[in-house]
Structure 1
Amino acid sequence: MYDSPKKSLPLYLFVLPAVLFVICFMIYPIIYNIVVSFQDLKISNLNSGGPFIGLQNYIEIFQSEKFLVAFKNTFIYTITCIFFQVVIGYLLALFFNQDFPFRNFFRSILLLAWMTPLVITGTLFKWLFDVDYGVINYILMNIHVIDNPINWLGQESTALAAVIITNIWVGIPFNMILILSALQALPGEVYEAAKIDGANKLQTFTKITMPLMKPTLFVILVLGIIYTFKVFDIILIMTGGGPVNATQVLPFFGYEQAFVNFNFGTSGAVATIILLILMCISLVYLYMIKKEESA
Protein backbone atom coordinates (compact mmCIF):
# COMPACT_ATOMS: atom_id res chain seq x y z
CA MET A 1 0.00 0.00 0.00
CA TYR A 2 1.40 3.38 -1.05
CA ASP A 3 1.79 6.19 1.47
CA SER A 4 -0.28 9.31 1.01
CA PRO A 5 1.41 12.38 -0.54
CA LYS A 6 1.34 14.12 2.87
CA LYS A 7 3.33 11.32 4.48
CA SER A 8 5.79 11.17 1.57
CA LEU A 9 6.42 14.94 1.49
CA PRO A 10 8.99 14.98 4.37
CA LEU A 11 10.97 12.25 2.60
CA TYR A 12 11.16 14.31 -0.60
CA LEU A 13 12.32 17.33 1.41
CA PHE A 14 15.43 15.37 2.44
CA VAL A 15 16.24 14.77 -1.24
CA LEU A 16 15.57 18.39 -2.24
CA PRO A 17 19.05 19.81 -1.33
CA ALA A 18 20.78 17.16 -3.46
CA VAL A 19 18.39 17.80 -6.37
CA LEU A 20 19.00 21.56 -6.18
CA PHE A 21 22.75 21.00 -6.04
CA VAL A 22 22.67 18.80 -9.15
CA ILE A 23 20.49 21.28 -11.04
CA CYS A 24 22.55 24.36 -10.10
CA PHE A 25 26.07 22.96 -10.35
CA MET A 26 25.75 20.19 -12.96
CA ILE A 27 22.70 20.36 -15.22
CA TYR A 28 22.58 24.15 -15.63
CA PRO A 29 26.33 24.53 -16.45
CA ILE A 30 26.13 21.69 -18.99
CA ILE A 31 23.10 23.22 -20.73
CA TYR A 32 24.65 26.70 -20.66
CA ASN A 33 27.91 25.33 -22.11
CA ILE A 34 26.04 23.66 -24.98
CA VAL A 35 24.19 26.92 -25.71
CA VAL A 36 27.46 28.88 -25.67
CA SER A 37 29.02 26.42 -28.13
CA PHE A 38 26.58 27.68 -30.78
CA GLN A 39 27.38 31.35 -30.14
CA ASP A 40 30.20 33.70 -31.11
CA LEU A 41 30.82 34.55 -27.47
CA LYS A 42 33.97 36.56 -26.78
CA ILE A 43 35.10 38.83 -23.95
CA SER A 44 33.78 41.86 -25.85
CA ASN A 45 30.16 40.60 -25.80
CA LEU A 46 30.29 38.46 -22.66
CA ASN A 47 27.66 40.50 -20.82
CA SER A 48 25.25 40.96 -23.70
CA GLY A 49 25.65 37.45 -25.14
CA GLY A 50 27.13 36.37 -28.45
CA PRO A 51 25.17 36.00 -31.69
CA PHE A 52 24.00 32.56 -32.75
CA ILE A 53 26.37 31.11 -35.40
CA GLY A 54 25.19 27.50 -35.58
CA LEU A 55 27.91 24.90 -36.06
CA GLN A 56 30.62 27.41 -36.98
CA ASN A 57 32.57 26.84 -33.74
CA TYR A 58 32.57 23.09 -34.30
CA ILE A 59 33.68 23.51 -37.94
CA GLU A 60 36.57 25.75 -36.86
CA ILE A 61 37.63 23.27 -34.19
CA PHE A 62 37.68 20.27 -36.51
CA GLN A 63 39.65 22.27 -39.07
CA SER A 64 42.20 23.31 -36.43
CA GLU A 65 45.46 21.39 -36.52
CA LYS A 66 45.89 22.00 -32.80
CA PHE A 67 42.60 20.21 -32.07
CA LEU A 68 43.70 17.13 -34.03
CA VAL A 69 46.99 17.05 -32.09
CA ALA A 70 45.11 17.45 -28.79
CA PHE A 71 42.66 14.70 -29.78
CA LYS A 72 45.49 12.29 -30.63
CA ASN A 73 47.47 13.11 -27.49
CA THR A 74 44.40 12.67 -25.29
CA PHE A 75 43.80 9.14 -26.55
CA ILE A 76 47.48 8.17 -26.35
CA TYR A 77 47.67 9.58 -22.82
CA THR A 78 44.45 7.90 -21.66
CA ILE A 79 45.07 4.44 -23.13
CA THR A 80 48.71 4.27 -22.00
CA CYS A 81 47.95 5.47 -18.47
CA ILE A 82 45.01 3.12 -17.99
CA PHE A 83 46.93 0.09 -19.31
CA PHE A 84 49.89 0.50 -16.96
CA GLN A 85 47.79 1.64 -13.99
CA VAL A 86 45.55 -1.42 -14.19
CA VAL A 87 48.34 -3.93 -14.94
CA ILE A 88 50.69 -2.67 -12.21
CA GLY A 89 47.78 -2.13 -9.82
CA TYR A 90 46.64 -5.73 -10.43
CA LEU A 91 50.11 -7.13 -9.77
CA LEU A 92 50.43 -5.11 -6.56
CA ALA A 93 46.95 -6.21 -5.48
CA LEU A 94 47.93 -9.85 -5.97
CA PHE A 95 51.09 -9.21 -3.93
CA PHE A 96 49.29 -7.46 -1.06
CA ASN A 97 46.61 -10.15 -1.06
CA GLN A 98 49.26 -12.45 0.43
CA ASP A 99 49.76 -12.69 4.17
CA PHE A 100 53.09 -11.17 5.28
CA PRO A 101 54.28 -8.84 8.08
CA PHE A 102 53.53 -5.10 7.80
CA ARG A 103 51.25 -5.67 4.81
CA ASN A 104 48.75 -3.00 5.89
CA PHE A 105 51.54 -0.51 6.59
CA PHE A 106 53.04 -0.78 3.10
CA ARG A 107 49.58 -0.66 1.56
CA SER A 108 48.90 2.62 3.39
CA ILE A 109 52.25 4.07 2.27
CA LEU A 110 51.38 3.39 -1.38
CA LEU A 111 48.10 5.26 -0.95
CA LEU A 112 50.02 8.49 -0.32
CA ALA A 113 50.67 8.82 -4.07
CA TRP A 114 46.94 8.94 -4.77
CA MET A 115 46.08 11.11 -1.74
CA THR A 116 48.64 13.82 -2.57
CA PRO A 117 47.06 16.81 -4.41
CA LEU A 118 47.89 16.85 -8.13
CA VAL A 119 49.38 20.35 -7.81
CA ILE A 120 52.03 18.98 -5.43
CA THR A 121 52.55 15.81 -7.49
CA GLY A 122 52.97 17.78 -10.73
CA THR A 123 55.47 20.16 -9.12
CA LEU A 124 57.39 17.25 -7.59
CA PHE A 125 57.74 15.40 -10.88
CA LYS A 126 58.62 18.62 -12.67
CA TRP A 127 61.64 18.81 -10.38
CA LEU A 128 62.43 15.11 -10.81
CA PHE A 129 62.43 15.46 -14.61
CA ASP A 130 64.40 18.73 -14.59
CA VAL A 131 67.26 18.72 -17.11
CA ASP A 132 69.77 20.45 -14.82
CA TYR A 133 69.22 19.05 -11.31
CA GLY A 134 66.57 16.35 -11.75
CA VAL A 135 67.01 13.11 -9.81
CA ILE A 136 65.88 10.94 -12.74
CA ASN A 137 68.68 12.16 -15.01
CA TYR A 138 71.15 11.79 -12.13
CA ILE A 139 70.18 8.14 -11.53
CA LEU A 140 70.12 7.20 -15.24
CA MET A 141 73.57 8.74 -15.78
CA ASN A 142 75.03 7.01 -12.72
CA ILE A 143 73.85 3.58 -13.85
CA HIS A 144 75.13 4.41 -17.37
CA VAL A 145 71.77 4.21 -19.12
CA ILE A 146 72.31 7.68 -20.64
CA ASP A 147 75.47 9.71 -21.25
CA ASN A 148 73.95 13.21 -21.21
CA PRO A 149 71.00 14.71 -19.32
CA ILE A 150 67.65 14.44 -21.13
CA ASN A 151 65.42 17.49 -21.30
CA TRP A 152 62.33 15.43 -20.48
CA LEU A 153 59.82 18.27 -20.37
CA GLY A 154 61.51 20.53 -22.91
CA GLN A 155 61.50 18.38 -26.04
CA GLU A 156 58.65 16.96 -28.09
CA SER A 157 59.86 13.35 -28.08
CA THR A 158 59.83 12.90 -24.29
CA ALA A 159 57.41 15.49 -22.83
CA LEU A 160 54.24 13.42 -23.22
CA ALA A 161 56.01 10.30 -21.90
CA ALA A 162 57.11 12.20 -18.77
CA VAL A 163 53.55 13.38 -18.10
CA ILE A 164 52.21 9.85 -18.67
CA ILE A 165 54.73 8.41 -16.18
CA THR A 166 53.60 10.98 -13.61
CA ASN A 167 49.92 10.09 -14.00
CA ILE A 168 50.66 6.35 -13.91
CA TRP A 169 52.39 6.85 -10.56
CA VAL A 170 49.34 8.76 -9.27
CA GLY A 171 46.76 6.20 -10.45
CA ILE A 172 48.40 2.91 -9.44
CA PRO A 173 47.34 3.00 -5.73
CA PHE A 174 43.69 3.73 -6.59
CA ASN A 175 43.52 0.76 -8.98
CA MET A 176 45.41 -1.44 -6.52
CA ILE A 177 42.97 -0.75 -3.66
CA LEU A 178 39.87 -1.40 -5.81
CA ILE A 179 41.29 -4.62 -7.24
CA LEU A 180 42.54 -5.76 -3.82
CA SER A 181 39.08 -5.21 -2.32
CA ALA A 182 37.55 -7.29 -5.10
CA LEU A 183 40.15 -10.05 -4.63
CA GLN A 184 39.46 -10.27 -0.91
CA ALA A 185 35.73 -10.55 -1.59
CA LEU A 186 36.14 -13.61 -3.84
CA PRO A 187 34.68 -16.82 -2.35
CA GLY A 188 37.39 -18.97 -0.76
CA GLU A 189 35.39 -22.19 -1.32
CA VAL A 190 36.01 -21.99 -5.06
CA TYR A 191 39.77 -21.91 -4.57
CA GLU A 192 39.63 -24.79 -2.08
CA ALA A 193 37.68 -26.88 -4.60
CA ALA A 194 40.18 -26.03 -7.35
CA LYS A 195 43.08 -27.01 -5.08
CA ILE A 196 41.43 -30.34 -4.32
CA ASP A 197 40.94 -30.93 -8.06
CA GLY A 198 44.67 -30.43 -8.59
CA ALA A 199 44.64 -27.01 -10.29
CA ASN A 200 47.97 -25.18 -10.20
CA LYS A 201 48.39 -21.44 -9.50
CA LEU A 202 48.35 -20.45 -13.18
CA GLN A 203 45.18 -22.43 -13.86
CA THR A 204 43.54 -20.98 -10.74
CA PHE A 205 44.41 -17.47 -11.87
CA THR A 206 43.23 -17.85 -15.48
CA LYS A 207 40.18 -20.05 -14.89
CA ILE A 208 38.87 -18.68 -11.59
CA THR A 209 40.36 -15.33 -10.56
CA MET A 210 40.19 -13.56 -13.94
CA PRO A 211 36.58 -14.58 -14.78
CA LEU A 212 35.38 -13.59 -11.29
CA MET A 213 37.28 -10.29 -11.48
CA LYS A 214 35.95 -9.39 -14.94
CA PRO A 215 33.02 -7.16 -13.76
CA THR A 216 35.26 -5.29 -11.30
CA LEU A 217 38.00 -4.76 -13.86
CA PHE A 218 35.47 -3.46 -16.37
CA VAL A 219 34.16 -0.89 -13.86
CA ILE A 220 37.73 0.17 -13.02
CA LEU A 221 38.59 0.56 -16.71
CA VAL A 222 35.54 2.71 -17.46
CA LEU A 223 35.96 4.92 -14.39
CA GLY A 224 39.69 5.22 -15.08
CA ILE A 225 39.11 6.24 -18.71
CA ILE A 226 36.59 8.92 -17.70
CA TYR A 227 38.86 10.28 -14.97
CA THR A 228 42.05 10.22 -17.07
CA PHE A 229 40.39 11.65 -20.19
CA LYS A 230 39.71 14.87 -18.27
CA VAL A 231 43.38 15.49 -17.44
CA PHE A 232 44.20 19.14 -16.83
CA ASP A 233 46.10 19.77 -13.58
CA ILE A 234 49.26 17.84 -14.41
CA ILE A 235 49.49 19.26 -17.93
CA LEU A 236 49.09 22.83 -16.68
CA ILE A 237 51.73 22.46 -13.96
CA MET A 238 54.34 20.37 -15.76
CA THR A 239 54.32 21.53 -19.39
CA GLY A 240 51.52 24.02 -20.07
CA GLY A 241 50.63 22.03 -23.20
CA GLY A 242 54.12 22.37 -24.69
CA PRO A 243 56.67 22.09 -26.02
CA VAL A 244 55.16 22.81 -29.47
CA ASN A 245 51.81 21.22 -28.43
CA ALA A 246 53.53 17.92 -27.62
CA THR A 247 51.40 17.55 -24.47
CA GLN A 248 48.33 19.38 -25.71
CA VAL A 249 45.15 17.53 -24.68
CA LEU A 250 41.47 18.31 -25.20
CA PRO A 251 40.67 19.77 -21.73
CA PHE A 252 43.75 22.02 -21.86
CA PHE A 253 42.90 23.03 -25.43
CA GLY A 254 39.44 24.11 -24.25
CA TYR A 255 41.01 26.01 -21.35
CA GLU A 256 43.30 27.89 -23.74
CA GLN A 257 40.40 28.84 -25.97
CA ALA A 258 38.50 30.33 -23.02
CA PHE A 259 41.14 31.91 -20.80
CA VAL A 260 44.00 32.64 -23.23
CA ASN A 261 42.23 33.43 -26.50
CA PHE A 262 38.98 34.51 -24.75
CA ASN A 263 36.94 32.64 -27.35
CA PHE A 264 34.28 31.19 -25.08
CA GLY A 265 32.16 29.81 -27.91
CA THR A 266 34.99 27.64 -29.21
CA SER A 267 35.83 26.55 -25.67
CA GLY A 268 32.20 25.53 -25.15
CA ALA A 269 32.34 23.46 -28.33
CA VAL A 270 35.47 21.64 -27.11
CA ALA A 271 33.83 20.95 -23.75
CA THR A 272 30.72 19.63 -25.50
CA ILE A 273 32.83 17.29 -27.65
CA ILE A 274 34.53 15.96 -24.50
CA LEU A 275 31.10 15.47 -22.90
CA LEU A 276 29.82 13.52 -25.92
CA ILE A 277 32.90 11.25 -25.94
CA LEU A 278 32.54 10.48 -22.23
CA MET A 279 28.79 9.92 -22.63
CA CYS A 280 29.47 7.37 -25.36
CA ILE A 281 31.91 5.56 -23.06
CA SER A 282 29.31 5.62 -20.27
CA LEU A 283 26.61 4.24 -22.61
CA VAL A 284 28.91 1.38 -23.62
CA TYR A 285 29.50 0.70 -19.93
CA LEU A 286 25.75 0.67 -19.16
CA TYR A 287 25.11 -1.62 -22.13
CA MET A 288 27.79 -4.07 -20.99
CA ILE A 289 26.45 -4.05 -17.42
CA LYS A 290 22.92 -4.72 -18.67
CA LYS A 291 24.20 -7.50 -20.92
CA GLU A 292 26.15 -9.01 -17.99
CA GLU A 293 23.08 -8.95 -15.71
CA SER A 294 20.80 -10.53 -18.33
CA ALA A 295 23.28 -13.32 -19.11
Structure 2
Amino acid sequence: MPALVSARRTTPGAHAAGVRGRTLGARWAAFAFIAPTCLYVLVFYVYPLAGNLRMGFQDYTVKSFYTGVAPFVGWDNYRAVWQDPAFGGTVLNTVLFTAGSLAVQFAAGLALAMFFHRRFALNGVLRSLLLVPWLLPLVVSGTAWRWILETDSGVLNQTLGHPVPWLASTDLALLSVTLVNIWVGIPFNMVILYGGLQGIPAQLYEAAGLDGANAWQRFTRITLPLLRPVTVVVLTLGLIYTLKVFDVIMVLTQGGPADSSQTLTTFSYDLSFQQLAFGRGAAVGNILIVVAVVFAFVYLRATRDAEGRR
Protein backbone atom coordinates (compact mmCIF):
# COMPACT_ATOMS: atom_id res chain seq x y z
CA MET A 1 0.00 0.00 0.00
CA PRO A 2 2.72 2.61 0.79
CA ALA A 3 4.35 1.76 -2.52
CA LEU A 4 1.06 2.31 -4.33
CA VAL A 5 0.51 5.66 -2.60
CA SER A 6 4.01 6.83 -3.46
CA ALA A 7 3.52 5.77 -7.08
CA ARG A 8 0.41 7.94 -7.33
CA ARG A 9 2.22 10.99 -6.02
CA THR A 10 3.58 13.42 -8.61
CA THR A 11 6.29 15.95 -8.17
CA PRO A 12 5.59 19.67 -8.81
CA GLY A 13 7.88 19.55 -11.84
CA ALA A 14 6.00 16.67 -13.38
CA HIS A 15 2.67 18.43 -12.75
CA ALA A 16 3.92 21.65 -14.39
CA ALA A 17 5.17 19.65 -17.38
CA GLY A 18 1.74 18.06 -17.72
CA VAL A 19 0.05 21.47 -17.64
CA ARG A 20 2.46 22.80 -20.27
CA GLY A 21 1.81 19.75 -22.42
CA ARG A 22 -1.94 20.22 -22.23
CA THR A 23 -1.59 23.96 -22.96
CA LEU A 24 0.65 23.26 -25.96
CA GLY A 25 -1.81 20.66 -27.20
CA ALA A 26 -4.69 23.13 -26.89
CA ARG A 27 -2.72 25.74 -28.84
CA TRP A 28 -1.97 23.29 -31.64
CA ALA A 29 -5.63 22.27 -31.71
CA ALA A 30 -6.71 25.92 -31.95
CA PHE A 31 -4.18 26.51 -34.73
CA ALA A 32 -5.49 23.47 -36.61
CA PHE A 33 -9.01 24.91 -36.46
CA ILE A 34 -8.07 28.38 -37.72
CA ALA A 35 -5.43 27.26 -40.24
CA PRO A 36 -7.93 26.56 -43.08
CA THR A 37 -9.49 30.01 -42.63
CA CYS A 38 -6.09 31.70 -42.56
CA LEU A 39 -5.04 29.79 -45.67
CA TYR A 40 -8.25 30.78 -47.44
CA VAL A 41 -7.76 34.47 -46.59
CA LEU A 42 -4.11 34.39 -47.70
CA VAL A 43 -4.82 32.65 -51.01
CA PHE A 44 -8.02 34.38 -52.07
CA TYR A 45 -7.69 37.83 -50.46
CA VAL A 46 -4.15 38.80 -49.43
CA TYR A 47 -2.34 37.33 -52.46
CA PRO A 48 -4.68 38.88 -55.10
CA LEU A 49 -4.67 42.19 -53.24
CA ALA A 50 -0.86 42.28 -53.12
CA GLY A 51 -0.73 41.31 -56.79
CA ASN A 52 -3.13 44.10 -57.76
CA LEU A 53 -1.18 46.67 -55.73
CA ARG A 54 2.03 45.60 -57.44
CA MET A 55 0.45 45.55 -60.90
CA GLY A 56 -0.70 49.15 -60.48
CA PHE A 57 2.98 50.22 -60.59
CA GLN A 58 3.95 48.04 -63.56
CA ASP A 59 3.53 48.11 -67.32
CA TYR A 60 1.65 44.83 -67.31
CA THR A 61 0.68 43.46 -70.74
CA VAL A 62 -0.60 40.18 -72.16
CA LYS A 63 3.01 39.16 -72.73
CA SER A 64 3.71 39.58 -69.04
CA PHE A 65 1.37 36.69 -68.24
CA TYR A 66 3.68 34.37 -70.15
CA THR A 67 7.07 35.85 -69.33
CA GLY A 68 6.31 37.02 -65.79
CA VAL A 69 8.21 40.23 -66.59
CA ALA A 70 6.53 43.63 -66.25
CA PRO A 71 8.64 46.81 -66.11
CA PHE A 72 8.22 49.06 -63.08
CA VAL A 73 6.72 52.40 -64.18
CA GLY A 74 6.01 54.04 -60.82
CA TRP A 75 3.03 56.40 -60.87
CA ASP A 76 2.66 56.43 -64.67
CA ASN A 77 -0.48 54.27 -64.59
CA TYR A 78 -2.14 56.60 -62.12
CA ARG A 79 -1.21 59.65 -64.19
CA ALA A 80 -2.60 57.96 -67.30
CA VAL A 81 -5.87 57.20 -65.50
CA TRP A 82 -6.09 60.77 -64.22
CA GLN A 83 -5.58 62.14 -67.74
CA ASP A 84 -8.04 59.72 -69.35
CA PRO A 85 -10.97 61.73 -70.80
CA ALA A 86 -13.45 59.19 -69.39
CA PHE A 87 -12.12 59.34 -65.83
CA GLY A 88 -13.86 62.55 -64.75
CA GLY A 89 -17.26 61.39 -65.96
CA THR A 90 -16.71 57.99 -64.36
CA VAL A 91 -15.95 59.53 -60.97
CA LEU A 92 -19.04 61.73 -61.24
CA ASN A 93 -21.18 58.70 -62.14
CA THR A 94 -19.73 56.80 -59.17
CA VAL A 95 -20.55 59.65 -56.79
CA LEU A 96 -24.11 60.03 -58.13
CA PHE A 97 -24.69 56.27 -58.13
CA THR A 98 -23.37 55.88 -54.58
CA ALA A 99 -25.04 58.97 -53.08
CA GLY A 100 -28.40 58.23 -54.71
CA SER A 101 -28.33 54.60 -53.66
CA LEU A 102 -27.38 55.37 -50.05
CA ALA A 103 -29.95 58.14 -49.57
CA VAL A 104 -32.95 56.22 -50.93
CA GLN A 105 -31.90 52.87 -49.43
CA PHE A 106 -31.58 54.42 -45.99
CA ALA A 107 -34.85 56.36 -46.17
CA ALA A 108 -36.84 53.40 -47.49
CA GLY A 109 -35.11 50.99 -45.11
CA LEU A 110 -35.88 53.20 -42.11
CA ALA A 111 -39.52 53.59 -43.18
CA LEU A 112 -39.92 49.82 -43.53
CA ALA A 113 -38.11 49.18 -40.26
CA MET A 114 -40.47 51.51 -38.42
CA PHE A 115 -43.46 49.92 -40.15
CA PHE A 116 -42.43 46.40 -39.11
CA HIS A 117 -41.54 47.59 -35.62
CA ARG A 118 -45.26 47.50 -34.88
CA ARG A 119 -47.07 44.27 -34.15
CA PHE A 120 -49.55 43.03 -36.72
CA ALA A 121 -50.54 39.78 -38.40
CA LEU A 122 -48.00 38.23 -40.82
CA ASN A 123 -45.29 40.67 -39.71
CA GLY A 124 -42.56 38.02 -39.73
CA VAL A 125 -43.69 36.53 -43.05
CA LEU A 126 -43.67 39.88 -44.84
CA ARG A 127 -40.28 40.78 -43.39
CA SER A 128 -38.88 37.47 -44.63
CA LEU A 129 -40.27 38.06 -48.13
CA LEU A 130 -38.68 41.51 -48.28
CA LEU A 131 -35.27 39.91 -47.72
CA VAL A 132 -35.46 38.04 -51.04
CA PRO A 133 -33.88 40.83 -53.18
CA TRP A 134 -30.89 40.94 -50.82
CA LEU A 135 -30.48 37.16 -50.74
CA LEU A 136 -30.59 36.68 -54.51
CA PRO A 137 -27.26 36.67 -56.41
CA LEU A 138 -26.70 40.06 -58.02
CA VAL A 139 -26.43 38.49 -61.47
CA VAL A 140 -29.90 36.99 -61.04
CA SER A 141 -31.32 40.33 -59.86
CA GLY A 142 -29.67 42.18 -62.74
CA THR A 143 -30.95 39.69 -65.31
CA ALA A 144 -34.50 39.88 -63.96
CA TRP A 145 -34.45 43.67 -64.09
CA ARG A 146 -33.00 43.64 -67.60
CA TRP A 147 -36.05 41.68 -68.73
CA ILE A 148 -38.28 44.17 -66.94
CA LEU A 149 -36.57 47.26 -68.42
CA GLU A 150 -36.11 46.06 -72.00
CA THR A 151 -37.21 48.76 -74.42
CA ASP A 152 -39.29 46.62 -76.78
CA SER A 153 -40.41 43.60 -74.79
CA GLY A 154 -39.90 44.69 -71.17
CA VAL A 155 -42.73 44.26 -68.68
CA LEU A 156 -42.51 47.87 -67.52
CA ASN A 157 -42.84 49.37 -71.00
CA GLN A 158 -45.69 47.03 -71.88
CA THR A 159 -47.45 48.22 -68.74
CA LEU A 160 -46.78 51.87 -69.58
CA GLY A 161 -48.02 51.33 -73.14
CA HIS A 162 -45.10 53.03 -74.91
CA PRO A 163 -41.37 52.23 -75.24
CA VAL A 164 -38.98 54.02 -72.90
CA PRO A 165 -35.24 53.32 -73.46
CA TRP A 166 -34.43 52.76 -69.78
CA LEU A 167 -31.11 51.03 -70.49
CA ALA A 168 -30.33 52.41 -73.96
CA SER A 169 -30.61 56.13 -73.23
CA THR A 170 -27.66 58.18 -72.01
CA ASP A 171 -30.11 60.17 -69.87
CA LEU A 172 -31.77 57.17 -68.19
CA ALA A 173 -29.12 54.43 -67.98
CA LEU A 174 -27.46 55.67 -64.77
CA LEU A 175 -30.85 56.33 -63.16
CA SER A 176 -32.00 52.82 -64.08
CA VAL A 177 -28.99 51.01 -62.62
CA THR A 178 -29.21 53.20 -59.50
CA LEU A 179 -32.87 52.26 -58.99
CA VAL A 180 -32.08 48.57 -59.39
CA ASN A 181 -29.23 48.85 -56.88
CA ILE A 182 -31.58 50.65 -54.48
CA TRP A 183 -34.05 47.76 -54.80
CA VAL A 184 -31.26 45.31 -53.95
CA GLY A 185 -29.99 47.24 -50.92
CA ILE A 186 -33.22 48.27 -49.16
CA PRO A 187 -33.62 44.94 -47.27
CA PHE A 188 -30.11 45.26 -45.79
CA ASN A 189 -30.89 48.72 -44.44
CA MET A 190 -34.25 47.56 -43.14
CA VAL A 191 -32.79 44.61 -41.21
CA ILE A 192 -30.01 46.62 -39.51
CA LEU A 193 -32.25 49.58 -38.66
CA TYR A 194 -34.98 47.25 -37.42
CA GLY A 195 -32.48 45.75 -35.00
CA GLY A 196 -31.56 49.26 -33.85
CA LEU A 197 -35.21 50.13 -33.24
CA GLN A 198 -35.59 47.00 -31.15
CA GLY A 199 -32.94 48.35 -28.79
CA ILE A 200 -34.80 51.62 -28.02
CA PRO A 201 -36.81 51.30 -24.76
CA ALA A 202 -40.57 51.65 -25.29
CA GLN A 203 -40.78 53.61 -22.03
CA LEU A 204 -39.13 56.59 -23.72
CA TYR A 205 -41.96 56.86 -26.25
CA GLU A 206 -44.57 56.41 -23.54
CA ALA A 207 -43.02 59.18 -21.43
CA ALA A 208 -42.79 61.48 -24.46
CA GLY A 209 -46.44 60.78 -25.28
CA LEU A 210 -47.45 61.70 -21.74
CA ASP A 211 -45.53 64.96 -22.12
CA GLY A 212 -47.55 65.79 -25.24
CA ALA A 213 -44.94 65.00 -27.91
CA ASN A 214 -46.45 64.19 -31.32
CA ALA A 215 -45.22 61.47 -33.69
CA TRP A 216 -42.78 63.77 -35.52
CA GLN A 217 -41.26 65.02 -32.27
CA ARG A 218 -40.85 61.45 -30.99
CA PHE A 219 -39.16 60.52 -34.26
CA THR A 220 -36.76 63.47 -34.35
CA ARG A 221 -35.96 63.64 -30.63
CA ILE A 222 -35.91 59.95 -29.67
CA THR A 223 -35.67 57.65 -32.68
CA LEU A 224 -33.07 59.45 -34.77
CA PRO A 225 -30.67 60.38 -31.93
CA LEU A 226 -30.71 56.88 -30.45
CA LEU A 227 -30.28 55.33 -33.92
CA ARG A 228 -27.20 57.44 -34.64
CA PRO A 229 -24.61 54.67 -33.97
CA VAL A 230 -26.59 52.20 -36.08
CA THR A 231 -27.05 54.83 -38.79
CA VAL A 232 -23.30 55.38 -39.05
CA VAL A 233 -22.74 51.64 -39.37
CA VAL A 234 -25.46 51.24 -42.02
CA LEU A 235 -24.28 54.16 -44.13
CA THR A 236 -20.61 53.18 -43.90
CA LEU A 237 -21.23 49.56 -44.85
CA GLY A 238 -23.64 50.67 -47.56
CA LEU A 239 -21.01 53.01 -48.97
CA ILE A 240 -18.41 50.24 -49.09
CA TYR A 241 -20.84 47.79 -50.71
CA THR A 242 -22.09 50.34 -53.24
CA LEU A 243 -18.61 51.43 -54.29
CA LYS A 244 -17.79 47.89 -55.35
CA VAL A 245 -21.07 47.14 -57.16
CA PHE A 246 -20.14 45.52 -60.45
CA ASP A 247 -22.54 42.68 -61.30
CA VAL A 248 -25.71 44.74 -61.58
CA ILE A 249 -24.17 47.38 -63.85
CA MET A 250 -22.44 44.85 -66.10
CA VAL A 251 -25.61 42.79 -66.57
CA LEU A 252 -27.81 45.83 -67.21
CA THR A 253 -25.71 48.25 -69.27
CA GLN A 254 -22.02 47.21 -69.17
CA GLY A 255 -21.29 50.85 -68.35
CA GLY A 256 -22.98 52.18 -71.48
CA PRO A 257 -24.34 53.66 -73.53
CA ALA A 258 -21.42 55.99 -74.24
CA ASP A 259 -20.06 55.49 -70.70
CA SER A 260 -23.18 57.15 -69.26
CA SER A 261 -23.47 54.47 -66.52
CA GLN A 262 -19.77 53.75 -66.16
CA THR A 263 -18.50 53.59 -62.58
CA LEU A 264 -15.01 52.98 -61.25
CA THR A 265 -15.58 49.22 -60.99
CA THR A 266 -16.73 48.83 -64.60
CA PHE A 267 -14.06 51.33 -65.71
CA SER A 268 -11.39 49.13 -64.15
CA TYR A 269 -12.86 46.10 -65.93
CA ASP A 270 -12.96 47.96 -69.25
CA LEU A 271 -9.32 49.06 -68.96
CA SER A 272 -8.12 45.58 -67.98
CA PHE A 273 -10.15 43.25 -70.18
CA GLN A 274 -11.33 45.40 -73.07
CA GLN A 275 -8.32 47.67 -73.63
CA LEU A 276 -5.85 45.14 -72.11
CA ALA A 277 -4.27 47.99 -70.08
CA PHE A 278 -3.84 45.83 -66.99
CA GLY A 279 -1.65 48.31 -65.14
CA ARG A 280 -4.16 51.14 -65.49
CA GLY A 281 -7.04 48.83 -64.60
CA ALA A 282 -5.17 47.78 -61.47
CA ALA A 283 -4.54 51.44 -60.63
CA VAL A 284 -8.28 52.17 -60.71
CA GLY A 285 -8.85 49.11 -58.52
CA ASN A 286 -6.25 50.36 -56.05
CA ILE A 287 -8.00 53.73 -55.85
CA LEU A 288 -11.21 51.91 -54.93
CA ILE A 289 -9.34 49.84 -52.35
CA VAL A 290 -7.96 52.96 -50.66
CA VAL A 291 -11.40 54.57 -50.50
CA ALA A 292 -12.96 51.37 -49.14
CA VAL A 293 -10.22 50.99 -46.51
CA VAL A 294 -10.72 54.57 -45.32
CA PHE A 295 -14.42 54.00 -44.79
CA ALA A 296 -13.73 50.59 -43.26
CA PHE A 297 -11.73 52.37 -40.55
CA VAL A 298 -14.68 54.75 -40.09
CA TYR A 299 -16.94 51.71 -39.67
CA LEU A 300 -14.61 50.08 -37.14
CA ARG A 301 -14.33 53.27 -35.13
CA ALA A 302 -18.10 53.76 -35.18
CA THR A 303 -18.75 50.23 -33.95
CA ARG A 304 -16.08 50.61 -31.26
CA ASP A 305 -17.63 53.87 -30.07
CA ALA A 306 -21.08 52.26 -30.07
CA GLU A 307 -19.78 49.38 -27.96
CA GLY A 308 -18.13 51.85 -25.58
CA ARG A 309 -21.42 53.68 -24.99
CA ARG A 310 -23.23 50.48 -23.95
| Mapped partners of 2:302, 2:145: distance in 1 | 37
Letter in 2 for 1:92: L
1:144 corresponds in structure 2 to none
The answer for the alignment partner of 2:177 in structure 1 is: 163
| Structure 1 position 164, deviation (Å) | 0.7
Residues in 1 aligned to 2:86 and 2:54: alpha-carbon distance in whole angstroms: 23
Aligned to 1:104: 124
**Structure with higher RCO (Cα < 8 A, 6+ apart):** 1
1:214 to 228, 243, 248: 228
How far does residue 291 in structure 1 lie from its aligned partner after superposition?
A: 5.8
Unmatched runs of 5 consecutive residues or more in structure 1: 142-147
Q: CA deviation at 1:50?
A: 0.8
Determine helix, strand or coil for the equivalent of 2:258: coil
Partner of 2:12: none
Distance 2:53 2:268 in 1: 13
The one of 267, 270, 289 equivalent to 1:253 is 267
Aligned to 1:26: 45
Q: Deviation at 1:161?
A: 0.5
Matches of residues 181-260 of structure 1 in structure 2 within 5 Å?
A: 181-260=195-274
Letter in 2 for 1:62: W
- Spell out, residue by residue over 1:212-241, the C-alpha distance to the aligned partner (whole angstroms, 9 max, x if none): 111111101000010011011011111111
Q: Spell out, residue by residue over 1:175-197, the C-alpha distance to the aligned partner (whole angstroms, 9 max, x if none).
A: 11111122122222322332333
Q: Closer, same or farther in 2 for the Cα pair 1:101/1:294, shift >3 Å?
A: closer
Secondary structure (helix, strand or coil) at the match of 1:131 reads coil
1:59 CA displacement: 0.8
Q: Number of aligned pairs?
A: 287
Match of 1:17 among 36, 42, 52: 36
Query: Residue 93 of structure 2 corresponds to which residue in structure 1?
Result: 73
Q: Which residue pairs with 1:56 in the alignment? A: 76
SS for the counterpart of 1:46 is helix
Deviation per CA, 1:89-117: give whole Å up to 9, x if none: 11111111111211122212211122222
Highest CA radius of gyration, 1 or 2?
2
Q: 1-side partners of 2:300 and 2:180: how far apart?
A: 30
TM-score, scaled relative to structure 2: 0.86
Deviation at 1:294, TM superposition (A): 6.7
2:58 to 27, 36, 39: 39
For 2:43, the aligned partner's letter is C
Deviation at 1:36, TM superposition (A): 0.9
Q: Percent identity?
A: 38
